[in-house]
Amino acid sequence: MMSDRTLSWLLAIVGGVVLGLTLVALAALLLWPAGPLRGMISAWRFGSNGEQIYFTGTSQRGTAITAVMQPGMGRMRGSRLTCASCHGADGRGGQVQMMMQVVEIPGIRHETLTGDDHGEDEHRHEPYTEQTIRRAITDGVDPAGEPLDWPMPRWSMADEDLDDLVEFLKTLD
């Protein structure tokens, strides 16, 4: 027969194991990048999926978003860059210190890209359309088909995520 003492030890051990497993499961739920809890937390933090993509480079759909850095960015590979880290929280661009040089970042609010005076400066091209904005993000070319400068990564994301992102650019003002 088991003594009361052994029994309470056994209960304590089983209790400890159950508690431990519960904590591990909770932590996994919280840390699982595309997990249901993460989705709920970010849906509450960001008003839209496009906004979340802009600020975090992750989709509420759990679909993958990846960026291929151009050769000049060699050493920054793997770091988590988001649209906001270069183009700014307000999408107005500015100057960013990168690879020991100051890089001029253009504004990418929808209004700026599609405005009549866009492309008047050194890079002459037509104003952007919805289609050419998408192409700039994924293929890194301007409306004239000219490649964008090296700091702009080439992005891969699901079509729906790209739709959401372009919609979000319309809300920046």
Among 111, 130, 149, 167, binds ligand HEC (CB under 6 A): 149
Strands 154-156 and 66-68: antiparallel
Strands 66-68 and 101-105: unpaired
Q: Which of residues 94-113 bind ligand HEC (CB under 6 A)?
A: 103, 105-106, 108, 113
Cβ proximity to ligand HEC, 60 vs 152, nearer residue:
152
> Is residue 167 at the binding interface for ligand HEC, with CB under 6 A as the rule?
no
> Is residue 141 at the binding interface for ligand HEC, with CB under 6 A as the rule?
no
DSSP string, 26-71: HHHHHH-TT-HHHHHHHHHHSSSHHHHHHHHS--TT----EEEPPG
How many residues sit close enough to ligand HEC to count as binding (CB under 6 A)?
21
Cβ proximity to ligand HEC, 46 vs 137, nearer residue:
137
Could you give the angle at which helices 49-56 and 159-171 cross, rounded to 10 degrees? 90
The site for ligand HEC (CB under 6 A) is made up of 81, 83, 85-87, 103, 105-106, 108, 113, 133, 136-137, 142, 148-149, 151-153, 155, 165
